[in-house]
């Protein structure tokens, strides 16, 4: 894994040795393909999404919504497996810093029951390599321990996870009108205006025009 090399064959062999079923293997392959390499968080993420789907009694073909509590690795698993993306507005990524996801089936109610799946610190203590990596210990060396970390994740699977049932608010598509920003002249939805100008001319500006 060092240098993000393509080790798809090695990963498949590891999944086979771990006795992983074909469905989860496919989820992991799809997530690794989207992410571009088999990062530890990606492997755990695919396992978490699979667990959430089972708890909800659903499958990726159903319209699902998700909240991800970290922008690192985990959003790719949700997108690759459950087809919740930022583009289709069914994935919300919150930079909370927790390795956790909350998923629910589409609902027309104002709120609905969802399941929150998260990595459990107590359970991870039973897996030395996973725990060493997860707590960012100086003793973890990705050059020498990456493969053993992958194997331990594939063997542990749900043993390092916990879940809880929660209630979440559902989001409905807002009605909006197109308006012209008086500063830059670009067209934007009215509900995204900040003090009567677009966000790019305000708090979310990220470029300077070259003249």
DSSP secondary-structure letter at 197?
Answer: B
The tens digit of pLDDT for each residue in 192-201 reads 999 999 999 9
Average of per-residue pLDDT values in the chain = 94
CA distance readout (Å), 93 to 18, 56, 72, 87: 31, 20, 10, 12
Question: What is residue 3's predicted lDDT score, i.e. its pLDDT?
Answer: 42
User: Which residue in the block uniquely carries the two structure tokens 């998700």?
Assistant: 66
CA atoms within 13 A on the CB side of 113: 6
CA atoms within 13 A on the CB side of 136: 0
Cα 46 to Cα 24: distance, rounded to the nearest angstrom = 8
What are the two backbone dihedrals, phi and then psi, of residue 21, each rounded to the nearest 5 degrees? -70, 160
Question: What is residue 38's predicted lDDT score, i.e. its pLDDT?
Answer: 96
Residue 2 has pLDDT above 80, yes or no: no
What are the two backbone dihedrals, phi and then psi, of residue 171, each rounded to the nearest 5 degrees? -110, 130
pTM, 2 dp: 0.86
| Angle (CA) 175 177 179, round 5° | 150
- Give the SS3 label for residue 81: helix
| Angle (CA) 27 172 200, round 5° | 90
The tens digit of pLDDT for each residue in 55-66 reads 999 999 999 999
Map out the domains of the chain with their CATH numbers: 2-169 (3.30.1330.130), 174-211 (no CATH)
């Amino acid at each position: 894994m060092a240098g993000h090399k393509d080790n798809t064959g090695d990963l498949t062999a590891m999944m086979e040795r771990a006795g992983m079923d074909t469905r989860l293997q496919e989820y992991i392959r799809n997530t690794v393909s989207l992410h571009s390499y088999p990062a530890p968080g990606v492997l755990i993420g695919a396992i978490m999404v699979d667990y959430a789907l089972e708890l909800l009694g659903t499958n990726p073909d159903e319209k699902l919504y998700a909240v991800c509590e970290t922008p690192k690795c985990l959003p790719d698993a949700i997108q690759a497996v459950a087809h919740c993306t930022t583009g289709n507005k069914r994935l919300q990524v919150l930079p909370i810093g927790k390795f956790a996801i909350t998923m629910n089936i589409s609902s027309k109610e104002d709120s609905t029951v969802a399941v929150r799946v998260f990595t459990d610190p107590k359970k991870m203590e039973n897996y030395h390599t996973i725990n060493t990596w997860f707590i960012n210990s100086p003793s973890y060396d990705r050059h020498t321990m990456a493969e053993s970390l992958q194997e331990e994740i594939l063997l542990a699977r749900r043993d390092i996870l916990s879940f809880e049932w929660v209630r979440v608010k559902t989001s409905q598509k807002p009605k909006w009108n197109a308006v012209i920003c008086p500063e830059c002249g670009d067209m934007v939805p009215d509900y995204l205006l900040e003090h009567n100008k677009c966000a790019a001319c305000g708090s979310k500006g990220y470029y300077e025009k070259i003249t």
